[in-house]
Amino acid sequence: MSEPQSKGPGVSSLFRLDGKVAFLSGATGLLGRPMAEALGAAGAHVILNARNQDRVEALASEMTSRGHQVSTASFDVTDLSAVRGHVARIADQHGRLDILINNASSGRTGTIDSATAEDFEQAYRVNVIAAFEMIQASLPILREAARRAKTSASVVNVGSMYGSVSPDPSIYGHSGANNPPYYGAAKAGLIQLTRYAACHLAADRIRVNCISPGPFPAAQYVERDPEFHTRLKAKTPMHRTGDPCEIQGPLLFLASSSSSYVTGINLPVDGGWTAW
């Protein structure tokens, strides 16, 4: 005999985040900005993070002028004491954290000839350790959010297609956009951390998933080397690169109760890049 089924949240509100508190790292970047907009438009209170305070404040004013609820938290996610301090502030101000998005990333370009151990350490620190420390520090308020809400809390890590497949060196040429060896190695670690955390936090009603973006080249690379952009498109089954706003649907899916029975996945958003 099957279990009695609840009616669920109702299809019209599946993607709504009203009353939820969301923290987004790397909010001022190419993909962070549309993520912030999506969370705000869905009704969440969005806590915007990046290191550059002026850019964070500017984004906060833009979003406030569109009627979104936001606050700012400018700090370096690789600084553990800053992580703990800001999470304590969220606990004081909101008492809960429903959605945690680990999206911040930075690093130098490099090749297998030029890469150093320090490059690997830095990439691992910002992509894996910082995500882990954000999750660990936030556990009490993620658990509290899950306790108060009818739905589970949601952690979304932002990986990369290069956490699953290697860059194809033939398409990068002299674009200056070649992807270094430590970046994908760290993103692979983040995808695995996602699975580990999903399995160990499921009992606390905290879901943990990963989005792996594909080619969303910044305008500067496209303008500097249009042929590189052509090769990038040709490598993608859909024959185009992504528009940053195309990250919004997958993010809202994983952040909201529309994915209430989904945990531990790595969702590629890559126009099919990793499908062949």
Ligand X SMILES: NC(=O)c1ccc[n+]([C@@H]2O[C@H](COP(=O)([O-])OP(=O)(O)OC[C@H]3O[C@@H](n4cnc5c(N)ncnc54)[C@H](OP(=O)(O)O)[C@@H]3O)[C@@H](O)[C@H]2O)c1
Our CB check for ligand X shows the closer of 25 and 257 to be: 25
* Interaction of residue 96 with ligand X, rule CB under 6 A: no
Q: Name every residue whose Cβ is closer than 8 Å to that of residue 266 and which is 6 or more positions away in sequence.
A: 159, 163, 164, 191, 194, 209, 210, 211, 212
Site for ligand X (CB under 6 A): which residue of 215, 250, 268, 271?
215
Q: How far is CA 197 from CA 22, 88, 263, 269, in A?
A: 18, 21, 9, 21
Site for ligand X (CB under 6 A): which residue of 126, 153, 186, 251?
126
Site for ligand X (CB under 6 A): which residue of 29, 167, 268, 271?
29
* Interaction of residue 51 with ligand X, rule CB under 6 A: yes
- Number of residues binding to ligand X, judged by CB under 6 A: 27
3-state secondary structure of 230: helix
Q: Tell the smallest beta-carbon distance from residue 205 to ligand X (Å).
A: 26
Q: Tell the smallest beta-carbon distance from residue 45 to ligand X (Å).
A: 19
Task: Give the integer Cα–Cα distance in Å for 211 and 191.
Answer: 9
Site for ligand X (CB under 6 A): which residue of 15, 21, 24, 26?
26
DSSP string, 191-208: HHHHHHHHHHHGGGTEEE
The answer to whether 129 and 157 are in contact (CB under 8 A) is: no
Which residues contribute to the site for ligand X (CB under 6 A)?
25-32, 49-52, 55, 76-78, 103-106, 126, 158, 160, 213, 215-217
